[in-house]
Amino acid sequence: MYVCMCYGVTDKAIMQAVEDHGAGNLRELREVMEIGSQCGKCISMTQQIIDSTIIDE
């Protein structure tokens, strides 16, 4: 499912970045991919996916 329409980022891509790079928040995620800096509508959903991916690890 697409989370960030502006940059075409899926939930799977976010989960992969958290697992591969240890991104624990949006700022760290932005160091490895473009996300959330256009309209900002995806920010809360992105943080939820980061949080649930960390909990599942």
Given the rule CB under 6 A, which residues bind ligand FES? 4-6, 35-36, 38-42
Nearer to ligand FES, 4 or 23 (CB): 4
Select from 44, 23, 41, 43 the least CA-distant residue to 32. 23
Question: Which of the 8 DSSP states describes residue 25?
Answer: S
Q: Which residue has the tokens 């980061």?
A: 50
| Closest distance to ligand FES from the beta carbon of 3 (Å) | 7
Nearer to ligand FES, 18 or 35 (CB): 35
Question: Which of the 8 DSSP states describes residue 1?
Answer: -
Nearer to ligand FES, 25 or 38 (CB): 38
